[in-house]
Amino acid sequence: MSFAIHGVGVSSGIAIGHAHLVSHALLEVVHYQVPAELIDQEIARFDQAIQTVNQDLEAVRAQLPSRAPAELSAFISTHLMILNDHTLAEDPKKIIQSDRCNAEWAIKQQMEFIVEQFDQIEDEYLRERKHDVVQVVERIIKVLLGRPSQVPLLEQEKAIILVAHDISPADAIQFKQHQFAAFVTDVGGATSHTAILARSLNIPSIVALQRARTLIRDGELIIVDGTQGVVIVNPDKDALAEYKLRQEQWELEQQKLKRIKLNKAVTLDGTAIDLYANIEVPEDIVQVKASGAAGIGLYRTEFLFMNRREAPNEEEQFEAYRTVAEKMDGKPVTIRTLDLGADKEVNSDTERSCTNPALGLRAIRLCLAEPQMFHTQLRALLRATAFGNIQILIPMLSSITELRQTKLLIERAKQSLRTQKIAFSENVQIGGMIEIPAAALCAEAFAKELDFLSIGTNDLIQYSLAIDRTDDAVSHLYNPVHPAILQLIEMTIKAGLKLGKKVSVCGEMAGDAKLTRLLLGFGLRQFSMHPSHILSVKHQVLQSNLEKLKPAARKILGCQDSDKIEPLIQKMNL
Ligand code: PEP
Ligand code: MG
């Protein structure tokens, strides 16, 4: 019988192949009592398993191909760190001793205790790190059960699709050498390591399918549509033919896209468009360079502050900002000041109790409330301006008063560097994020006092439509082409144009190729997005005639009926 399962597509494309179910060791753990005289032996068995996993992970790291994405090595280091932390390497031994239980059961109990603590973390990114702990424990249990390897034997001509409860980065590297066509998992979110890895491996992938591992049988034929987030199990003849066609088209398109990597992004009527990349950590530069991006339009510096107890000092921050600026060889690098708070808390200890963190002390509000922390970042940023083409971007501005306070603090940081005779660029450009509806409505006032504007559509949508961007229950209401959103975007672009200030979009909308023409029609000339989207957006730019887009964009802007907007956008893209 044919049926479909829906999840979250995290890497686009279509794969057709046979399911390989990855065993889920955690489900197979049994509990038994160990006689007192055999406890030492059980502990030794546990120690041996930890040692084997250590060796396995080290071996995987040593065998990484030189062109493997930088984050793969980082993922394995994280797993090694988790493995060797006393909470996993030592505490289960105490459980074996006190409860006289088998090693598998002890490590599983300890894992559940750790996972419970992770579940209480509000920050989505940190919360998802619990999957890393689970993945490491899975590995240990598999060794204890005597089944360390997950790599299946492949018949060369068959495309294999991995169906797993979860996949660890270390396993995925081994899988990669065996050329899997796709992978799908029961758990994970859009920012999970599995999702990040999927994007960097460039194979179609879907996470959060909930029960794929129970619904799909080993060897069954399945179709993975990573673009739509759908798995079709046992497709009939018609569905198979349809998806084979779509797959061929997709692959052809990807090949074609690669040909434009070195092309300048210029419209048919000769207007140059800036296509920039968003990054979270300096290591992302590798992918930025491979994408042919013209610069960095958004460096989210808050990631430097996460997963740690102490904030990075001025020197550490300076090194990170300088590295990015230098590696970009004079191309523009827009570095955003700290956007901590809401779904991006540093760690659970620093969480402030407030009813609605997204409306609380976040981003620039937090920086103004903690001027010393902000001063440290501003000094580091300003010092880095002497080493490249850096611009500073302020997140979450809601009023001009806030902007003026921020500029005073920037001036204070500059003055402290002048006094110490430390080099920086006096003319560093200062821009502001327009991501609160109030700021979009007053965009002209902001444009007057800033050098450039950058529209953060992710938050602009969240705040305009009153939809928590992290809440699954309302995600169906998250509509980037709601008439109100389009009006706020257009109004901001117009305000910038009027005052001769550059305006970019750096939220997810910038990387959605279906919206490129609409945004061009609104007058947008700068887009900043995940590097993997640059070529598809460039493709749209190369085929667009700005004069022809304007009337269609005007018509869409005048449309108040959400249901009519999608078809109008589709027509514009023909
Ligand atoms: C945005 O809000 O659109 C944005 C780019 O910022 P972030 O996603 O980091 O909140
Ligand atoms: Mg934002």
Which one of the listed residues 506, 530, 533, 539 is annotated catalytic?
A: 506
Q: Whose CA is nearest to atom 9 of ligand 1?
A: 300
| Span from the CA of 160 to the centroid of ligand 2 (angstroms) | 38
- Relative to beta strand 8-11, strand 205-207 is antiparallel
Report, as an integer, the average pLDDT of 219-238. 93
Q: What is the CATH number of the domain that holds 364?
A: 3.20.20.60
What is the model's pLDDT at position 506?
Answer: 95
DSSP-derived secondary structure letter, 476 = G
Tokens encoding 452: 């450039």
Q: Rounded to an integer, what distance in angstroms lies between the CA atom of residue 323 and that of residue 560? A: 46
In a domain, residue 514? The reply is no
Report, as an integer, the average pLDDT of 430-449. 98
Is residue 44 within 8 Å of residue 271, measured between CB atoms? Answer: no
Q: Which domain covers residue 235, as residue numbers?
A: 3-239
In a domain, residue 271? The reply is no
Average confidence score pLDDT of the chain: 88
Distances (CA, A) of 97 to 35, 38, 45, 100, 141: 10, 10, 13, 5, 18
Q: Which helix (H) or strand (E) holds 394?
A: strand 390-394
| Span from the CA of 458 to the centroid of ligand 1 (angstroms) | 5
Check if 457 has its Cβ closer than 6 Å to any atom of ligand 1: yes
- Relative to beta strand 221-225, strand 230-233 is antiparallel
What is the model's pLDDT at position 154?
Answer: 44
- pLDDT over 90 (residue 406): yes
Report, as an integer, the average pLDDT of 67-91. 83
What is the model's pLDDT at position 213?
Answer: 87
| CA-based radius of gyration for the chain | 25
What is the model's pLDDT at position 61?
Answer: 81
* Residue 49 and residue 163 in one domain: yes
13-48 burial, b for 16+ CB within 10 Å, e for fewer? bbbbbbbbbbebbbeebeeeebeeeeeeebbebbee
| Span from the CA of 302 to the centroid of ligand 1 (angstroms) | 12
What is the model's pLDDT at position 156?
Answer: 46
pLDDT, tens digit (0-9, with 9 covering 90-100), for 533-549: 899 999 999 999 999 99
> Domain tally for the chain?
2
* Residue 216 and residue 311 in one domain: no
Tokens encoding 201: 């491996």
In a domain, residue 468? The reply is no
**Ligand of minimum distance to the alpha carbon of 280:** 1
Check if 511 has its Cβ closer than 6 Å to any atom of ligand 1: no
In a domain, residue 398? The reply is yes
What is the model's pLDDT at position 153?
Answer: 43
The residue to which tokens 């971007």 are assigned: 393
Which one of the listed residues 193, 530, 533, 539 is annotated catalytic?
A: 193
What is the model's pLDDT at position 157?
Answer: 44
Identify whether 367 is a catalytic site residue.
no
In a domain, residue 254? The reply is no
* Residue 64 and residue 209 in one domain: yes
* Residue 63 and residue 205 in one domain: yes
* Residue 308 and residue 384 in one domain: yes
Q: How confident is the model at residue 191 (pLDDT cuts 50, 70, 90)?
A: very low
What is the model's pLDDT at position 310?
Answer: 85
What is the model's pLDDT at position 349?
Answer: 47
Check if 459 has its Cβ closer than 6 Å to any atom of ligand 1: yes
What is the model's pLDDT at position 26?
Answer: 64
Report, as an integer, the average pLDDT of 440-466. 96
* pLDDT more than 90, % of the chain: 58
Report, as an integer, the average pLDDT of 449-465. 95
What is the model's pLDDT at position 64?
Answer: 72
Check if 533 has its Cβ closer than 6 Å to any atom of ligand 1: no
Specify burial of residue 407 (Cβ count, 10 A radius: 0-12, 13-18, 19+): middle
Q: Which residues pair with 18 in a beta bridge?
A: 160, 221
In a domain, residue 557? The reply is no
In a domain, residue 548? The reply is no
Identify whether 6 is a catalytic site residue.
no
Residue (of 561, 14, 93, 528) closest to 274 by Cα position: 528
Check if 56 has its Cβ closer than 6 Å to any atom of ligand 1: no
Q: How confident is the model at residue 174 (pLDDT cuts 50, 70, 90)?
A: low
Q: Is 7 helix (H, G, I), strand (E, B) or coil?
A: coil
| Span from the CA of 533 to the centroid of ligand 1 (angstroms) | 16
Best residue among 506, 509, 512, 530 to mutate for probing ligand 1's pocket (most ligand atoms within 8 Å of CB) is: 506
Atom of ligand 1 nearest to the CA of 395: 6
pLDDT, tens digit (0-9, with 9 covering 90-100), for 318-365: 999 999 999 999 999 999 999 987 766 665 444 456 778 889 999 999
Q: How confident is the model at residue 171 (pLDDT cuts 50, 70, 90)?
A: low
